[in-house]
């Protein structure tokens, strides 16, 4: 870990102003925001992240930690702790995929510390990214190459990969937000804006270092999720090598609106297999209007991985991901859900 | 709780006294090596090489030295010849490997210490270490068996041949011919590798978690070129060792030297990642097993060829084949061991170092043979049970293998199993039941102890043994209390200090077997001093009062069966090594066990779960069933971990470890472990040692992996022969 400047703004306005000032003094200065710190501090200790300034947002956090149900719309403050959201009755009842994705993530200790905003922005677990001794990492050092492509890549992505990066997105909660078509509220120097959560992360392409569409200095303040039958009939299936405190090898978030056994609407998001939180749009389109049985689920699973590209050790994620989709769809269809 | 955890104390089953140090451990006052506070301590941070092989061309220390608080940086250039070579353990010395600490510009493996930064704070030392610029000339590194540059050879001393294997195998009706492998695994005990050193004039005190403090003392004296009597190594508690903290690693001399250079105490707590490089580990193994049986299931031929891996610096192999081919009756045996030397750190001891990988191969092959011959796997073992090992015809001192199978099988419910693979299901889950034998040689060594009895009934027991969490304090107190006939709460214990009478390494499941007899001998000497018979129930306190003496103290040394004449001299030089097992001229001695597991495999997504495991073990006298139970259950859990999770990923391009942290090197969490039941089968063995103890430290781990792989086969009909067993190995097979 290297020395850094530490700032703790008292308000969002103060944060924006301080950031603008810092940027005018030194445009190249690297700023990192810290809330729970569960990812950033580790990466700083490993010398992967070397911010010049660490802006502690915890004085601002209380203003953006609320969990509210506004009609059928769920609003989640970005500084709410993972544990608080996972345990909230409105979330468990109306948006089970959110509660499950959060309670299956990390450990109880981490869930008590980590904020939602930081969680969706958590960095990849690619070992080559996480150790600066591996000089080739386009995400850490643009243009340096990718050590993972020909390295040990069992954990790496098969969807959304590029020649420049195959690092998988590690989170769980983001898949739930994807499956529920959530909106994210952002605040920065240019004011407040709201964007679809699905547009927050960027596929690596030829700039894997640019992981999100956040503008410099922007922070996430809120997630907005509309409720409805698909939200109540939703679940998160996480396949992993150990039963707790472990990232997904493959995960599936499903939100399903069924009439009888016919699919009126469905959203499928995949984790552990893709470079970003991933929607299986083609699979969804194919399922709409069909009756949901084993064959339909298998067809959807096939489509979802049609564009998959594997490397030395991760080819198994394609059949595993397909099986996980089938299992998740059928288990979600079998849920007992109240219809209004 | 439906039944008591511990058997009733009778015969060879002792009383389940609570842990001697339980209170200190629970309330956090137990002082581990890194907890010792020394005034004026400077903090050290290791810099490890991040190349697999090569040479350091230059250091640029400018930025590192400019970090406020940095007081010294040790490199091979600044250290020069200040640390001398001491031979490795495997060549009659003390060190865990033969690489001299900061001995030259050569880098032999990824993770080799190349610098030690000393600063006023840990944070400054770490920052400076990250600012050291090392220019390397990188050479190609061989990472494993199949790498170009790996040097392969056969180790003749492990070769065995009885009868005519080829002829018997060719003619037999039932045969198995299969290859198995086990992965690289690293120690991740909760306590990190810490060392603190403080000089007082020319006297050095070392605080370091150790399984053999005298090894550190005498080895370090050689490295520093000083009189061993000027070194004291102290360590009251070890936070998990399992073989990793057995022997002198490169760090100790560096910290001792740094403390001398800066004139202050120096503290090093190596990081979790550095633990993967600093000490011994379980290297990968490969096996070719051929078994043949007659129509009744009697073994006719048994061939086991092993391949082990080691460093360029140290030629070593564990050769577990010497044990596996002696476990069952068989007239025709052939066995050999090959070793590959590559550019890695020197491997070494990890719980059941020889037994765990070789048992996985044999006990899986036996399950395959049982299916081939249409026999129940338990019955196959019964048919081939023997009281005489088949290589040299030597008797087992005692053998309760089938009693273990019967006890564990009954508790598990084995008779309810349907043999057909895939025949047991529960909803979306395929259920598999498997079993395997466990074995561990009964080792013992010379040890010494001092016992003091006060007229008020207080007893003090001292022996330089080690508390790894296995229950050494409790055992020492209990043996003295029972031998002298005083209450447990009157006995105090000293251990973990090289100023105490020397004891054996806490390894090879041999501590209790070795140290208990010395304590018993000292207690008996006290009884004799007081005019009491050794075996009598005479009241020692009353005898003390009658004699008018305030205090009686006796020292005793004991030697284990079959030890060489110079064993006592070696004990006092920190070189006592356990003997026994298959290394005796007149007999073999083993603890044996049987392990049963249930696995569940999801029909669609193929996760492998182990909801329950039952093991039964016969290991002679159990002095304390509570601490023994903890060791056996812990061993079985490690076995689950070893079979399903633990695997160090090595990048073949530079032999670098890429998952050297607890997030990516998987160990089970509570959610992974269901019911684990350890049954202690009563067994009398008066031969293994005067205490009748065989030891239970390692055996719990030995049979688990094979039991799991056998259960996976039973669940889905696919035979897995390569550990760890993972989702991707069975994706297409349901």
Tell whether B22 is covered by a domain. no
Q: Do B666 and A47 touch (CB under 8 A)?
A: no
**pLDDT for residue B734:** 61
CA angle A113, A119, A123 (to 5 degrees): 115
Among residues B507, B542, B574, which one ends one of the domains?
B574
Structural domain including B159 reads 31-353
Among candidates A3, A147, A242 on the partner chain, residue whose Cβ is nearest the Cβ of B672 = A242
Mutant choice from B727, B733, B734 vs A, greatest count of A C-beta within 10 A:
B727
Query: How close A53 gets to chain B, by Cα (Å)?
Result: 17
Q: How far is A312 from chain B (nearest CA, A)?
A: 12
Is cis: bond before B561, omega within 30 of 0? no
Contacts of A245 in chain B (CB under 8 A): 669, 671
Q: Establish if A150 touches chain B: CB-CB under 8 angstroms.
A: yes
In chain B, which residues touch A (CB < 8 A)? 50, 123, 126-127, 130, 602, 604-607, 609, 644-645, 649-651, 653, 656, 658-659, 663-664, 666, 668-672, 726-728, 731-732
Last residue of a domain, one of A56, A72, A89: A56
Domain with A259 in it: 61-121+169-333
According to DSSP, the residues that pair with A201 across neighbouring strands are A212
- Indicate if B72 and B144 belong to the same structural domain: yes
* Residues B302 and B384 occupy one common structural domain: no
Confirm whether A133 is domain-assigned: no
Whether residue A90 is found in the same domain as residue A229? yes
pLDDT at A237 over 50: yes
Chain B within 8 Å of A287 (Cβ-Cβ)? no
A28: pLDDT strictly greater than 90 = no
Model confidence over B288-319: pLDDT tens digits?
999 999 999 999 999 999 999 999 999 999 99
Q: Are A316 and A241 in contact (CB under 8 A)?
A: no
Reported as a single tens digit per residue, the pLDDT across B182-218 is: 999 999 999 999 999 999 999 999 999 999 999 999 9
- Which member of B645, B650, B728 has the closest CB to residue A242? B645
Q: Which of A56, A79, A94 is the last residue of a domain?
A: A56
Same domain, B269 and B400: no
- The answer as to whether B24 is a domain residue is no
pLDDT of B138 higher than 60: yes
Instruction: Please tell me the distance in Å from B8's CA to the nearest CA on chain A.
Output: 36
Question: What is the domain count for chain A?
Answer: 2
Tell me if A127 and B666 make a contact (CB, 8 A cut-off).
no
Task: Say which residue, A336 or B102, is predicted with more confidence.
Answer: B102
Relative to beta strand B266-269, strand B42-48 is parallel
Query: Are B727 and A241 inside 8 Å of each other by CB?
Result: yes
Chain B nearest C-alpha distance from A250 (Å): 10
In a domain, A141, yes or no: no
In this prediction, residues B205-233 reach a mean pLDDT of 98
Taking Cα atoms as reference points, which of A270, A265, A257 lies closest to residue A286? A265
Residue B534's pLDDT is 67
Q: Is residue A155 part of a domain?
A: no
Instruction: Look at residue A168 and give its three-state secondary structure.
Output: coil
In the structure, what pLDDT confidence band is assigned to residue B21 with cuts at 50, 70 and 90? very high
Q: Is residue B25 domain-resident?
A: no
Whether the CB of A246 is below 8 Å from some CB of chain B: the reply is yes
- Distances, alpha carbon B573 to alpha carbons B323, B348, B521, in Å: 29, 21, 22
Residue B2 has pLDDT above 60, yes or no: no
* Residue B1 predicted with pLDDT over 60: no
The rounded distance, in Å, linking the Cα atoms of A79 and A92 is: 19
The answer to whether residues B308 and B363 belong to one domain is no
The answer to whether the CB of B242 falls within 8 A of the CB of B469 is: no
Minimum mean pLDDT range among B110-114, B534-538, B562-566:
B534-538
Scan for tokens 């020394």, then name that residue: B38
Whether the Cβ atoms of residue A89 and residue A135 lie closer than 8 Å to each other: no
> Residues 23 to 52 of A: which have CB under 8 A from any B CB?
45, 47
Nearest chain B residue to A317, by CA:
B728
Q: Assess whether pLDDT exceeds 60 at residue B176.
A: yes
Question: Any residues with CB less than 8 A from the CB of A112 and at least 6 apart, and which?
Answer: A81, A82, A83
DSSP state of B386: -
Given a contact cutoff of 8 angstroms between Cβ atoms, the answer to whether A321 and A329 are in contact is no
At A17, list the tokens.
Answer: 């102003």
Stretch B432-449: mean pLDDT? 97
Distance CA B117, CA B132 (A): 9
Q: Does residue A253 share a domain with residue A196?
A: yes
- Closest approach of A140 to chain B, Cα-based (Å): 16
pLDDT value at residue B565 = 84
Six-digit token string for A332: 């979600």
Are B15 and B461 in contact by the 8 Å Cβ rule? The answer is no
A108 and A66 share one domain: yes
Based on the fold, state whether residues A52 and A82 are members of the same structural domain: no
Q: Do A239 and B727 lie within an 8 Å CB cutoff? A: yes
B130 → closest Cβ in A47, A246, A326: A47
Give the catalytic positions of B in this structure.
Answer: 698
pLDDT tens digits for A103-135? Answer: 999 999 999 999 999 999 999 999 999 999 999
Could you tell me if A52 and A178 lie in one domain? no
**CA distance linking residue B253 with residue B131, whole number of Å:** 23
Res. B586: pLDDT tops 70: yes
Answer whether B536's CB lies under 8 Å from B496's CB: no
Residues near B535 by beta carbon (within 8 Å), at least 6 away in sequence? none
Pairs of residues, one from chain A and one from chain B, whose beta carbons lie less than 8 Å apart: 84
Same domain, B341 and B362: no
Select the more confidently predicted residue: B645 or B537.
B645
CATH code assigned at B81: 3.30.365.10
Nearest Cα residue in chain B from A320: B605
* pLDDT value at residue B3: 54
Q: C-alpha angle B673/A240/A318, rounded to 5°?
A: 150
Contacts of B645 in chain A (CB under 8 A): 241-242
Asked if A60 has any chain B CB less than 8 Å from its own CB, the reply is no
> Is there a domain that residue B10 lies in?
no
Residue-wise pLDDT tens digits, A214-226: 998 899 999 999 9
Please report which helix (H) or strand (E) contains residue B716, including its range. helix B704-716
Give residue B6's pLDDT: 78
Residue A51 sits in a domain whose CATH number is 3.30.43
Closest listed residue to residue B465, CA positions, set B429, B512, B432, B520: B512
Decide if A242 and B671 are in contact by the 8 Å CB cutoff: yes
Give residues with Cβ within 8 angstroms of B113, minimum separation 6.
B46, B47, B48, B49, B101, B102, B250, B251, B254, B277, B278
Query: Are B432 and B448 members of one domain?
Result: no
Q: Is A146 helix (H, G, I), strand (E, B) or coil?
A: strand
d(CA B283, CA B544): 55
* Statement: residue A238 has pLDDT above 70: yes
Q: Which of chain A's residues have a Cβ under 8 Å away from the Cβ of B669?
A: 242-246
Domain check: are B431 and B467 in the same one? no
> In this structure, is residue A338 part of a structural domain?
no
Asked if residue B361 and residue B349 are part of one domain, the reply reads: no
pLDDT at B437 over 80: yes
Is B108 part of a structural domain of the chain?
yes
Query: Which residues in chain B have their CB less than 8 angstroms from residue A152's CB?
Result: 649-651, 658-659
Q: Is B102 left (phi over 0), alpha (psi -120 to 50) or beta?
A: left
8 Å CB contact of A152 and B649: yes
Q: Do A152 and B651 touch (CB under 8 A)?
A: yes
Instruction: Among B50, B604, B731, select the one facing A316 at the smallest CB separation.
Output: B731
- Give the Cβ contact number of residue A62 at 10 Å: 10
- Looking at the fold, whether B247 and B310 belong to one and the same domain comes out as yes
Query: What percentage of chain B exceeds 90 in pLDDT?
Result: 95
pLDDT at A27: 85
Q: In the predicted model, is pLDDT for residue A340 greater than 60?
A: no
Contacts of A239 in chain B (CB under 8 A): 605, 607, 727
* Residue-by-residue DSSP string for B571-599: HTTT----EETT--SS-B-EEEEEEEEEE
The dihedral built from the CA positions of residue A299, A301, A304 and A306, taken in this order, carries a sign that is: negative
Selected for mutation to probe chain B from A129, A132, A152 (highest B CB count within 10 Å) is: A152
CATH code: domain of residue A252? 3.30.390.50
Q: Where are the beta strands (DSSP E) in chain A?
A: 5-7, 31-34, 53-56, 67-70, 73-77, 183-188, 191-196, 219-226, 234-239, 250-259, 262-271, 278-279
The answer to whether the CB of B438 falls within 8 A of the CB of B703 is yes
A51 and A67 belong to one structural domain? no
- Does residue B129 fall inside a structural domain? yes
Q: Which of B111, B604, B655, B660 is best to mutate for the A interface (most A CBs within 10 A)?
A: B604
Both A52 and A95 in one domain: the answer is: no
Asked whether residue B203 falls in the same domain as residue B94, the answer is yes
Q: Are residues A324 and A244 in the same domain?
A: yes
**What is the rounded CA–CA span in Å between residue B159 and residue A92?**
63
pLDDT (0 to 100) of residue B333: 98
User: Which residue(s) pair with B234 in the sheet?
Assistant: B207, B497
pLDDT value, residue B536: 60
CA distance B494 to chain A (A): 37
Q: What burial class does residue A313 get, using C-beta atoms within 10 Å of its C-beta: 0-12 exposed, 13-18 middle, 19+ buried?
A: middle
In a domain, B16, yes or no: no
Q: How confident is the model at residue B538 (pLDDT cuts 50, 70, 90)?
A: confident
pLDDT in tens, B238-276: 999 999 998 999 999 999 999 999 999 999 999 999 999
Number of neighbours of residue B611 by Cβ within 10 angstroms? 14
Same structural domain, A244 and A97: yes
**DSSP structural state of residue A324:** H
Which of B550, B574, B598 delimits the end of a domain? B574
To the nearest whole Å, the CA of B188 is away from the closest chain A CA by 17
For residue B246, the model assigns a pLDDT of: 87
The structural domain count of chain B equals 3
pLDDT tens, B624-657?
999 999 999 999 999 999 999 999 999 999 999 9
Nearest by CB to A249, which of B604, B658, B727?
B727
Q: Are residues A202 and A252 in the same domain?
A: yes
Q: How far is it, in rounded angstroms, from Cα B714 to Cα B712?
A: 5
| Record: contact B605-A324, CB cut-off 8 A | yes
Rounded CA-CA distance A68/A83 in Å is 15
Residues A9 and A117 in one domain: no
| Whether the Cβ atoms of residue B381 and residue B327 lie closer than 8 Å to each other | no
Residue A3, both tokens: 């020395």
Report the chain A residue with the minimal C-alpha distance to residue B658: A127
> Are residues A125 and B605, on separate chains, in Cβ contact within 8 Å?
no
Alpha carbons B638 and B676: distance in angstroms, whole number? 11
- Are A49 and A176 in a shared domain? no
Q: Which of B70, B184, B94, B61 is nearest to B573 (CA)?
A: B94
Q: Within a domain: residue B17?
A: no
A151 vs B contacts (CB less than 8 Å): 651, 653, 658
The whole-angstrom separation of Cα B111 and Cα B562 is 40
Q: How far apart are CA B498 and CA B220, in angstroms?
A: 13
Residue B112, token pair as written in the block: 């080799």
B342 and B420 in one domain? no
> Average pLDDT, whole number, for chain B?
96
Nearest CA in chain A to B732: A319
Contacts with A38 from chain B: Cβ below 8 Å: none
Contacts of residue A150 in chain B, CB cutoff 8 Å?
A: 653
Are B347 and B378 part of one and the same domain? no
User: Which ranges of B131-187 does DSSP label H, i.e. alpha helix?
Assistant: 165-171
**Residue of A48, A126, A127 for testing the chain B interface, max B β-carbons within 10 Å:** A127
Q: Among residues B345, B333, B335, B346, which one has the least CA distance to residue B287? A: B335
């Amino acid at each position: 870990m290297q020395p850094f400047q530490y700032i703790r703004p008292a308000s969002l306005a103060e944060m924006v102003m301080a950031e603008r000032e810092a940027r005018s003094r030194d445009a190249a200065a690297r700023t990192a925001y810290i809330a729970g710190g569960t990812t950033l501090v580790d990466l700083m200790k490993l010398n992967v992240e070397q911010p010049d300034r660490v802006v502690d947002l915890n004085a601002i956090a209380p203003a953006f930690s609320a969990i509210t149900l506004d009609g059928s719309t769920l609003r989640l403050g970005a500084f709410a702790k993972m544990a608080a959201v996972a345990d909230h009755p409105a979330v468990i009842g109306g948006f089970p995929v959110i509660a499950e994705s959060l309670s299956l993530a990390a450990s109880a200790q981490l869930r008590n510390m980590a904020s939602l905003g930081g969680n969706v922005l958590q960095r990849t677990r690619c070992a080559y990214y996480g150790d600066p001794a591996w000089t080739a990492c386009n995400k850490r050092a643009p243009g340096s190459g990718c050590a993972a492509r020909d390295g040990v890549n069992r954990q790496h992505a098969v969807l959304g990969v590029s020649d420049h990066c195959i690092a998988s997105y590690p989170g769980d909660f983001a898949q739930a937000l994807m499956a529920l078509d959530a909106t994210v509220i952002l605040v920065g120097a240019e004011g407040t804006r709201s964007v679809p959560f699905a547009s927050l992360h960027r596929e690596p392409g030829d700039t894997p270092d640019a992981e999100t569409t956040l503008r410099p200095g922007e922070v996430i303040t809120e997630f907005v999720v509309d409720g409805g039958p698909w939200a109540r009939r939703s679940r998160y299936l996480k396949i992993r090598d150990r039963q707790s405190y472990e990232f997904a090898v493959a995960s599936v978030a499903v939100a399903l609106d069924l009439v009888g056994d016919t699919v009126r609407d469905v959203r499928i998001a995949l984790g552990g297999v893709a470079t970003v939180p991933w929607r299986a749009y083609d699979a969804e389109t194919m399922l709409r209007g069909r009756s949901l049985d084993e064959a339909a689920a298998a067809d959807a699973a096939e489509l979802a991985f049609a564009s998959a590209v594997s490397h030395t050790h991760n080819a198994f994620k394609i059949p595993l991901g397909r099986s996980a989709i089938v299992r998740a769809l059928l288990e979600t269809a079998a849920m007992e859900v109240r219809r209004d | 709780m439906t039944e008591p955890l511990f058997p009733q104390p009778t015969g060879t089953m002792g009383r389940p006294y609570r842990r001697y140090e339980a209170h200190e451990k629970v309330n956090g006052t137990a002082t581990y090596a890194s907890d010792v506070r020394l005034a004026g301590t400077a903090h050290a941070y290791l810099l490890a090489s991040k190349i697999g092989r090569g040479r350091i061309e230059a250091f640029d220390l400018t930025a590192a030295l400019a970090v406020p608080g940095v007081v010294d940086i040790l490199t091979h250039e600044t250290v020069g010849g200040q640390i001398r070579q001491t031979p490795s353990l495997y060549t009659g010395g003390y060190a865990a490997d033969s690489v001299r600490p900061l001995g030259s510009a050569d880098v032999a493996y990824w993770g080799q210490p190349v610098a030690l930064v000393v600063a006023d704070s840990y944070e400054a030392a770490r920052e400076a270490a990250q600012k050291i610029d090392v220019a390397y000339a990188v050479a190609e590194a061989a990472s494993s068996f199949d790498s170009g540059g790996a040097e392969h050879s056969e180790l003749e001393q492990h070769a065995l041949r009885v009868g005519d294997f080829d002829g018997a195998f060719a003619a037999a009706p039932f045969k198995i011919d299969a290859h198995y492998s086990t992965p690289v695994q690293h120690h991740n005990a909760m306590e990190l590798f810490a060392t603190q050193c403080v000089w007082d004039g020319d006297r050095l005190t070392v605080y370091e978690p150790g399984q053999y403090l005298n090894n550190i003392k005498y080895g370090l004296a050689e490295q520093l070129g000083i009189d061993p009597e000027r070194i004291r190594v102290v360590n009251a508690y070890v936070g998990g060792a399992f073989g990793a903290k057995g022997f002198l690693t490169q760090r100790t001399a560096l910290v001792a030297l740094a403390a001398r250079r800066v004139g202050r105490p120096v503290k090093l707590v190596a990081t979790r990642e550095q633990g993967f490089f600093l000490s011994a580990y379980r290297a990968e193994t490969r096996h070719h097993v051929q078994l043949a049986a007659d129509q009744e299931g009697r073994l006719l031929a048994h061939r086991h060829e092993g391949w082990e891996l080691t460093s360029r610096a140290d030629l070593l192999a564990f050769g577990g084949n010497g044990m596996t081919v002696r476990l069952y009756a068989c007239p025709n045996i052939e066995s050999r061991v090959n070793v590959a030397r590559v550019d890695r750190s020197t491997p070494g001891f990890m719980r059941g170092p020889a037994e765990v990988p070789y048992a996985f191969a044999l006990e899986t092959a036996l399950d395959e043979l049982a299916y081939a011959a249409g026999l129940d796997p338990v019955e196959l073992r019964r048919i081939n049970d023997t009281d005489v090992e088949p290589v040299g015809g030597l008797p087992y001192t005692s053998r309760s293998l089938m009693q273990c199978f019967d006890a564990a099988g009954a508790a598990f419910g084995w008779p309810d199993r349907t043999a057909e693979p895939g025949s047991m299901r529960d909803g979306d889950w395929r259920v598999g039941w498997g079993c395997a034998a466990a074995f561990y040689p009964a080792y013992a060594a010379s040890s010494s102890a001092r016992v003091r009895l006060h007229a008020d009934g207080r007893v003090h027991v001292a022996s330089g043994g080690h508390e790894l969490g296995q229950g050494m304090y409790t055992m020492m107190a209990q043996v003295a209390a029972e031998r002298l006939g005083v209450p447990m709460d009157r006995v105090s214990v000293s251990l973990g200090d090289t100023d105490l009478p020397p004891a054996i390494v806490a390894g090879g499941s041999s501590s209790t077997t070795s140290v208990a007899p010395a304590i018993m001998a000292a207690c008996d000497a006290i009884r004799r001093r007081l005019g009491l018979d050794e075996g009598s129930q005479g009241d020692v306190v009353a005898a003390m009062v009658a004699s008018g003496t305030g205090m009686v103290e006796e020292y005793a040394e004991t030697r284990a069966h079959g030890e060489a004449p110079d064993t006592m001299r070696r004990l006092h030089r920190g070189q006592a090594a356990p003997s026994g097992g298959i290394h005796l001229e007149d007999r073999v001695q083993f603890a044996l066990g049987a392990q049963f597991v249930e696995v569940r495999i999801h029909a669609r997504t193929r996760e492998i779960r182990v909801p329950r495991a039952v093991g039964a073990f016969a290991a002679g006298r159990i002095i304390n069933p509570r601490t023994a139970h903890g060791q056996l259950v812990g061993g079985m859990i490690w076995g689950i971990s070893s079979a399903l999770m633990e695997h160090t990923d090595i990048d073949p391009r530079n032999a670098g470890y890429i998952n050297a942290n607890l997030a990516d090197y998987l160990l089970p969490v509570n959610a992974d472990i269901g019911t684990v039941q350890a049954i202690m089968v009563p067994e009398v063995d008066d031969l293994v040692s005067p205490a009748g103890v065989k030891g239970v430290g390692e055996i719990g781990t030995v049979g688990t992996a094979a039991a799991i792989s056998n259960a996976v086969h039973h669940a889905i009909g696919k035979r897995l022969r390569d550990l760890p067993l993972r989702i991707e190995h069975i994706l297409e097979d349901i």
